[in-house]
Amino acid sequence: MISVDLALLLRGAGLRWHPASGDRFAVIQPDMAGEVFTISEMTIEAHHYPTGTILGFNGTTEWALDSVAQEDAVWLPREDQMRELLGGTFRSLARSTDGTYQVLVERPGHPEQVFTADSAEEAYADALLSLVTAAVERVG
């Protein structure tokens, strides 16, 4: 799983989250550091309103938390979600003999790029951060 700090960098770069069942997230509050939640119709549902999305905690007596606004949470995308977001730029994932992981991406008109990290998730996140940043710069 990627770190909250890396997830915040992705969000800050422009990665948008549309909460769905199975998504993992963290609540950005000091007293909730280290807590990871998963959206599930049984316990946590995304309620979409014109004013924004609220993540509702259904029947959870363990937490003193009924709901949280989406902007107060940060998405912790899974490996498969990040690979999907990389789309056609994704070329490969490899594990090196030193135990690190490399994600190879190729954007149209640009040379291949390799992103290396201690976990596959972090390598995917670094590649995605680069892709989102480049897309926002191109549009901006």
Q: Where are the domains of the chain?
A: 4-75, 79-139
pTM of the shown model: 0.84
One-letter amino acid of 125: A
Q: Say what the pLDDT of residue 140 is.
A: 64
Q: Which parts of the chain register pLDDT below 70?
A: 59-66, 140
DSSP structural state of residue 2: -
Tell me if 56 sits within 8 A of 47, measured CB to CB. Answer: yes
Tens-place pLDDT, residues 5-21: 999 999 999 999 999 98
Question: What is the architecture, at CATH level 2, of domain 79-139?
Answer: 2-Layer Sandwich (3.30)
Rounded-to-integer distance, Cα 122 and Cα 4, Å: 11
One-letter amino acid of 32: M
Stated as kind and residue range, the H or E segment containing 55 is strand 52-57
Q: Say what the pLDDT of residue 86 is.
A: 98
Can you say whether the dihedral through the CA atoms of 69, 72, 76, 81 is positive or negative?
A: positive
Q: Say what the pLDDT of residue 11 is.
A: 98
CA 2 to each of CA 10, 41, 48, 65, 108: distance values in angstroms, whole numbers, following the listed order: 11, 24, 26, 24, 27
